[in-house]
Amino acid sequence: MTDSQDKKTRIETDSMGDVHVPAQAYYGAQTQRAVENFPVSGWQLPIAMIRAMGRVKLACGIANRDLGKLSGTGKNPLKDDQIKAMLDACQDVVDGKLDNEFPIDVFQTGSGTSSNMNVNEVISNRAVEIAGGDRFAAEKPIHPNDHVNMGQSTNDTFPTAIHVAAGVELTNQLIPALQRFADTLNEKAKAWDQIIKIGRTHLMDATPLRLGQEIGGMARQIELSIERAKQAVADVTELPVGGTAVGSGINTHPEFGNRVSIELAKATGVPFVEAVNHFEANAQRDGLVSCHGHLKSIATTLFNVANNIRWLGSGPRCGFYEIALPSRQPGSSIMPGKVNPVMCESMMQFTARVIGNDQTITVSGAAGGQFQLNIMMPVMCQTTLESIMLLSNGTNAFVEFCAAEMQANIDVCESFVEKSLSMCTSLNPYIGYEKASKLAKDAFKSGKTIRELCEEQQLLPPDQLAEALDPMRMTEPQA
């Protein structure tokens, strides 16, 4: 191996010939070829995926060590210190110490082979370095294919890493964020349980309810979203590792897939298991499609909740303004003092992105899997992890900067109740639907309230009218 171009690069060689690689890079020729071949977006695979690939390589290395494969009688067996160096290098990837060594564009070879070899090369060179060798030497005593990739194919380890990354991010990021949101809304619902307000259906006046009931309904939406997130985790717990190239398991030990899955479950706390059928697990990404379908449902819920909170906070003089939203920033470059519901708008935007992402996942799952391999995996990886990241980070921001600081405008809530024409609904059992309907029309024409007209017309005795038009009584079923 020689220096070239004023030592800005070094020359590495693969089966296709020489390649100029950045002089100090841990990656090698195959990575550099991919960098040059795919100058598409400037988007690299998410860091969560890189670290998941490190986890997979570490689990594979442990399995091969324990099965005696790395130190066996095959080509270039490793010594104990070399095996340890390789596992330590894998751990460096997991720990984020080599994050800058993964430059390949998302829109690359559809199997993810370029990124798999990127990881293999980085671990190989780092392992050689840890073992005290020269990582720039032409011969790799800890080889990216023979050792780091032992018993593996991109076709089973890359989708395994996608599942690991998604399962870990869902468990450690999204579910806690949603739980925080649900808890916050439930606290508000409890605190606001005695505040009467008017209901709205079709954006029109309806019968009264309590503000706590309305917010409690939103809290339940988020609780159900948590269950969907848990199901999304379940969708990715089966791991393809052990299927190698086409699902047959060629060139790997029969126990390999199970051992790797057990190791990954132990390391992450996510209940990963070996795939029931490796031909299905290698070839299709149906589990990922289902996983993202739940993310789309969660995004739909969050969009709806944010939009309803935005409406409830509209005003402050000419809207509903039943909830005062926290002021986060000036809202207009021309209207002084204007403040907008920016956190609601942010949530509606990032959830729209997730909903759109689902189309990419759907098309990739349906059209990308021919015979024994899906060739849309890098974009499925990036899209899924982007959606999880947006939902997690965005929900945390919404809770911190909006939901937790919302305040109820009690006077505004209660002022609408008496004005509502739908107050006549509770008179149905006393005077019938037709008469109550006429009362509502007369009240609208005259500008009077339902109560005022009832008193004028002496439709009911005062005590019975007070009971019938008691707003709190209207918020619950009556025997």
Q: What is the pLDDT of residues 233-272, one digit of tens each?
A: 999 999 999 999 999 999 999 999 999 999 999 999 999 9
For residues 113 and 11, what is the distance between their CA atoms, to the nearest angstrom? 21
Q: How does pLDDT run across 372-418, given as a tens digit for each residue? A: 999 999 999 999 999 999 999 999 999 999 999 999 999 999 999 99
Res 6: pLDDT = 55
Give every CB contact of residue 113 below 8 A, 6+ residues apart in sequence.
Answer: 154, 158
Q: Which two tokens stand for residue 247?
A: 């699902």
For residues 232 and 226, what is the distance between their CA atoms, to the nearest angstrom? 10
Query: Are the CB atoms for 398 and 181 separated by under 8 Å?
Result: yes
The one-letter amino acid at 386: E
DSSP string, 182-225: HHHHHHHHHHTTT-EEEEEETTEEEEEEEHHHHHHHHHHHHHHH
Say which DSSP state 369 is in: E
Query: Are the CB atoms for 423 and 443 separated by under 8 Å?
Result: no
Residue 274 CB coordination number (10 Å): 21
Give every CB contact of residue 271 below 8 A, 6+ residues apart in sequence.
Answer: 237, 265
Res 1: pLDDT = 46
Whether the CA torsion 335, 337, 341, 345 is positive or negative: it is positive
Domains of the chain and any CATH numbers = 25-150 (1.10.275.10), 156-412 (1.20.200.10), 418-474 (1.10.40.30)
Residues noted as catalytic = 202, 332
- Residue identified by tokens 């409890």 is 190
Query: Are the CB atoms for 364 and 374 separated by under 8 Å?
Result: yes
- Residue identified by tokens 């390391």 is 267
What backbone torsions phi and psi does residue 209 show, to the nearest 5 degrees?
Answer: -150, 175
Task: Of 176, 248, 190, give the one whose Cα is nearest residue 219.
Answer: 190
Q: Which residues of the chain have a pLDDT value below 50?
A: 1-5
What backbone torsions phi and psi does residue 273 show, to the nearest 5 degrees?
Answer: -140, 160
Residue 31 CB coordination number (10 Å): 28
Res 3: pLDDT = 47
Task: Of 111, 92, 62, 91, give the one whose Cα is nearest residue 258.
Answer: 62
Please state, in angstroms and as integers, the Cα–Cα distance from residue 275 to each residue in 171, 243, 367, following that order.
20, 9, 22
What backbone torsions phi and psi does residue 12 show, to the nearest 5 degrees?
Answer: -115, 155
Q: Which two tokens stand for residue 194?
A: 């005695």
Query: Are the CB atoms for 302 and 229 separated by under 8 Å?
Result: no
Query: Are the CB atoms for 173 and 388 separated by under 8 Å?
Result: yes
For residues 389 and 383, what is the distance between their CA atoms, to the nearest angstrom? 10
For residues 81 and 87, what is the distance between their CA atoms, to the nearest angstrom? 10
Query: Are the CB atoms for 257 and 249 separated by under 8 Å?
Result: yes
- Residue identified by tokens 């969050």 is 302
Query: CA angle at residue 85 from 90 to 239, to 5 degrees?
Result: 30
Task: Of 281, 174, 189, 205, give the one whose Cα is nearest residue 236.
Answer: 281
SS3 category, 20? strand
Res 73: pLDDT = 66
